[in-house]
């Protein structure tokens, strides 16, 4: 099998309710700049990264895929995923300007497409190719009912609705200018949840260390399962200090690009829940390295939702560090086999591939370059 052609795309898909906010961002659309990788045997692999649908940077990502990586990919066997990853990552002029940022997001999209092809060629869903079993349930937790710009009553209603649908865990966004508002909302949602249900909170990097130390102390009163991204994403020492000072575990990783970054956080004892994201890391290849590293530290991996669950369902079913995955269904309408939750658990996908295949009409509906 040989790669014959790259077909870039940029999907911009509306989010729930037309707009959402967290402690640091406001988003109206989710962006999925990516690529379909065509082969001489007729198989087509699909991969993409996740963005805030910023057109100029999305264009830059697909330009990098097409023009920086394209010449290194055409004619190669897409099943040689590790060798190709190393080729793309270490190509001297690209290594000079890359290793994180836009070029790494482009690498993620390409790598996912290659793993999609590899699983299709094997005739298996990716989770089975990676050694997973459908008999081991993958629990879902919901984030889409807990945005920072929604009312207190909305959060409580959404949490109750998720419990009625079979979920046993929800996450809400905090990081309001008034921390008192955050604590009131946590108290309200906790009171609405049944005994044993898990509640997580996510600051999206909005606090400084002093605020995190001061407000974070109160979270144990509400049995918060984890405090996510309390401070600046790259601050290893700050998160390590918080992890030592607070009774509530620290979760992070959705903003980290590299295996090296995760090594630093794990070595410093700065993270308890490892939220590796295959579409910010360099795809499936680097995600698996991070998950193995976390497993060696006996830390659970709970993948971030940057891929809107498609690849991550496969990875989380297969990797022994994973038992829980985030749920935000913004891109459901794009896929042949969208990730699906029933009774609080993800349904194991059945189609060969990585779950990224776009349905007929998805490009016509959402590709902003058309």
Binding site for Mg ion (CB under 5 A): 202
Q: Which is nearer to Mg ion, 139 or 202 (CB)?
A: 202
DSSP letter (8 states) at residue 18: G
Longest dimension (CA), the chain: 60
Q: For residue 348, what are its two tokens?
A: 């194991």
Q: Which is nearer to Mg ion, 22 or 111 (CB)?
A: 22
> Shortest gap between Cβ of 57 and Mg ion (angstroms)?
20
Rounded to the nearest angstrom, the gap between the alpha carbon of residue 334 and the centroid of all alpha carbons in its chain is: 17
Our separate counts of H helices and E strands in the chain read 14, 14
Q: Which is nearer to Mg ion, 202 or 235 (CB)?
A: 202
Please state whether 175 falls in left (phi above 0), alpha (psi between -120 and 50) or beta. left
Q: Which is nearer to Mg ion, 202 or 286 (CB)?
A: 202
> Shortest gap between Cβ of 205 and Mg ion (angstroms)?
9
Q: Which is nearer to Mg ion, 216 or 349 (CB)?
A: 216
> Shortest gap between Cβ of 22 and Mg ion (angstroms)?
7
> Token match 């990081």: residue?
175
Q: Is 173 a catalytic residue?
A: yes
Q: CA-CA distances (angstroms) from residue 16 to 30, 53, 281, 333, 362?
A: 10, 14, 26, 12, 18
Q: Which is nearer to Mg ion, 205 or 349 (CB)?
A: 205
> Shortest gap between Cβ of 70 and Mg ion (angstroms)?
32
Q: CA-CA distances (angstroms) from residue 126 to 276, 351, 352, 359?
A: 18, 9, 7, 18
Q: Active site residue: 29, 118, 171, 173, which one?
A: 173
Identify whether the C-beta of residue 44 lies closer than 8 Å to the C-beta of residue 170: no
Q: For residue 208, what are its two tokens?
A: 């400084």
Question: From CA 156, how far away is CA 98, in angstroms rounded?
Answer: 43
Q: Active site residue: 12, 38, 299, 304, which one?
A: 304
Q: Which is nearer to Mg ion, 274 or 362 (CB)?
A: 274
Question: From CA 74, how far away is CA 96, in angstroms rounded?
Answer: 22
Our CA angle for 20, 25, 30, nearest 5°, is: 60
The residue with its CB nearest to Mg ion is: 202
> Shortest gap between Cβ of 89 and Mg ion (angstroms)?
26
Q: For 273, what's the count of Cα atoms within 13 Å in the CB-facing half-sphere?
A: 24
Q: For residue 154, what are its two tokens?
A: 């909305």
> Shortest gap between Cβ of 103 and Mg ion (angstroms)?
23
- DSSP class per residue in 270-315: --SEE---TTTTTHHHHHHHHHHHHHHTT--B---STTTTHHHHHH
Q: Which residues pair with 228 in a beta bridge?
A: 202, 251
Question: From CA 77, how far away is CA 225, in angstroms rounded?
Answer: 44
Q: Is 12 a catalytic residue?
A: no
Active site residues: 173, 304
């Amino acid at each position: 099998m040989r790669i014959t052609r790259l077909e870039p795309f940029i999907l911009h898909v509306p989010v729930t309710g037309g707009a959402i906010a967290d402690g640091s961002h406001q988003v109206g659309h989710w962006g999925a700049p990516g690529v379909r990788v065509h082969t001489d045997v007729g198989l087509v692999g699909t991969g993409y990264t996740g963005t805030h649908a910023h057109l100029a940077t999305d264009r830059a990502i697909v330009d990098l895929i097409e023009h920086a990586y394209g010449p290194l990919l055409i004619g190669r066997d897409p099943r040689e995923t590790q060798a190709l990853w190393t080729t793309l990552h270490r190509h001297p002029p690209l290594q000079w300007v890359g290793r994180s940022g836009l070029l790494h997001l482009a690498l993620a999209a390409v790598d996912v497409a290659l793993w999609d092809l590899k699983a299709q060629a094997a005739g298996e869903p990716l989770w089975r190719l990676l050694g997973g079993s459908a008999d081991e349930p993958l629990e879902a937790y919901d984030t889409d009912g807990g945005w920072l710009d929604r009312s207190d009553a909305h959060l409580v209603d959404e949490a109750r609705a998720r419990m009625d649908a079979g979920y046993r865990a929800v996450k809400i966004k905090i990081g309001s200018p008034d921390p008192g508002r955050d604590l009131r909302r946590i108290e309200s949602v906790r009171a609405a949840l049944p005994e044993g249900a898990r509640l997580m909170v996510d600051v999206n990097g909005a606090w400084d260390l002093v605020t995190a130390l001061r407000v974070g102390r109160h979270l144990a009163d509400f049995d918060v399962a984890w405090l996510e991204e309390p401070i600046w994403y790259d601050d290893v020492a700050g998160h390590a200090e918080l992890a030592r000072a607070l009774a509530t575990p620290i979760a992070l990783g959705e903003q980290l690009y590299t295996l090296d970054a995760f090594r630093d956080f794990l070595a410093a004892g700065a993270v308890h829940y490892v939220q590796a994201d295959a579409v910010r890391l360099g795809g499936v290849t680097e995600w698996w390295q991070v998950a193995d590293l976390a497993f060696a530290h006996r830390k659970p991996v709970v993948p971030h939702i940057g891929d809107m669950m498609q690849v991550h369902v496969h990875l989380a079913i297969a990797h022994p560090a994973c038992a829980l995955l985030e749920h935000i269904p913004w891109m459901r309408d794009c896929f042949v086999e969208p990730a699906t939750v029933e009774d609080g658990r993800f349904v194991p996908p059945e189609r060969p591939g990585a779950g990224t295949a776009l349905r007929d009409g998805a490009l016509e509906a959402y590709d902003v370059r058309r």
